[in-house]
Amino acid sequence: MRTLRVLMIATLAVFVLASATPSFAQTDTSPASTPARLNLKLTMPRGFTPELTPAQTQRVQNEQGLGIFAQIGFVRGSTYGEDGLPNYESLNPSGVIFGIGFGGNKSGVFGIGVDINYIIKNADNVELVNFDDNVFAFGTLKTHVLQIPIYGRFNFMGHATKSAPTLYVLVGGFFDILLKGEIDGIDIKDQFNGFDIGPLAGIGFEVARVGVEFRGLWAMKTLQSTGGGTFLNGLQESKVFTYVILFKVRLN
């Protein structure tokens, strides 16, 4: 009887094992399931950023290229130095500035810029008495200046497009060349230093290819070319500080 019971248990175990074998055959080791897994991997995206087409790559390169600007604005001068501020400020030297600018690298954090500007500035009630050169004049002083600023531009809030809003800071220097100076038709250019040089600083904002800047320029040379006589109402050692408000339009 005991032998018969053992035989029945063994027979039942074999039956259960034989019934379970088809289930084990349904695992992912089946060759038929392998292509499905491979197809699934091939259909997955390679990353969150798709590869750029040649046309898109060229457009991004154009965005980061050389900027060209047409610009126009207003200038106003004051003086600094031992005898600078009180008298010359009352003469209200002011005028217009226009020119073209290059560079800036709007799509990057930092870029180099250079301008070629023309400035026409007037000051009323200017008196020039130079006994050494026998030059006497009184009236409206008009000067024409070629200005070449060179500066670094630091961009904030920028994006890799030309139309996105960008706040930026300018730091650099400038070079002025006096082209013409007269008081009511009398040529007094030789009474000035013929050129000036100094640092500049500014801040600007650009959006949709249109921008506005505020600049300050500190001239390092005195106004008059020599110490003889009296120039600009006695401001013999005066140096000029110039404020500039500049409106810009990107051309490319």
Question: Residue 168: inside a domain, yes or no?
Answer: yes
For the cut 50, the answer to whether the pLDDT of residue 209 exceeds it is yes
Q: Are residues 162 and 107 in the same domain?
A: yes
User: Whole-model pTM?
Assistant: 0.71
Q: Are residues 35 and 134 in the same domain?
A: no
Distance CA(230)–CA(125), nearest Å, equals 14
Q: Are residues 230 and 117 in the same domain?
A: yes
Q: Are residues 33 and 91 in the same domain?
A: no
Q: Are residues 166 and 115 in the same domain?
A: yes
Q: What is the pLDDT of residues 88-146, one digit of tens each?
A: 545 568 999 999 999 888 878 899 999 999 999 998 877 777 767 777 888 888 999 99
**pLDDT of amino acid 228:** 57
Q: Are residues 94 and 32 in the same domain?
A: no
Amino acid type, 47: G
Query: Which H or E run contains 21?
Result: helix 2-24
> Per DSSP, what are the bridge partners of residue 152?
112, 171
Is 185:139 a contact under the CB 8 Å cutoff?
Answer: no
Residue that is written with structure tokens 């023309």 in the block: 118
Is 178:195 a contact under the CB 8 Å cutoff?
Answer: yes
Distance CA(67)–CA(99), nearest Å, equals 14
Least reliable range by pLDDT among 156-165, 172-181, 205-214, 225-234 = 225-234
Average pLDDT of 71-90? 72
Which of 129, 130, 103 is CA-nearest to residue 116?
A: 103
Percent of the chain residues past pLDDT 90, beyond the cut: 35
DSSP characters over 77-135: EEEESTTTHHHHHTT--EEEEEEEEEE--TTSSEEEEEEEEEEEEEEEEEEEEETTTTE
Q: Which domain holds residue 21?
A: 2-42
CATH code of the domain containing 221: 2.40.160.20
Local confidence band at 56 (pLDDT 50, 70, 90 cut-offs) = low
Distance CA(6)–CA(14), nearest Å, equals 12
Query: Which H or E run contains 155?
Result: strand 135-156
Q: Are residues 138 and 208 in the same domain?
A: yes
Least reliable range by pLDDT among 57-66, 119-128, 146-155, 187-196 = 57-66
Question: Residue 55: inside a domain, yes or no?
Answer: no
Counting the structural domains of the chain, the total is: 2
Distance CA(88)–CA(78), nearest Å, equals 7
For the cut 70, the answer to whether the pLDDT of residue 222 exceeds it is yes
Q: Are residues 27 and 112 in the same domain?
A: no
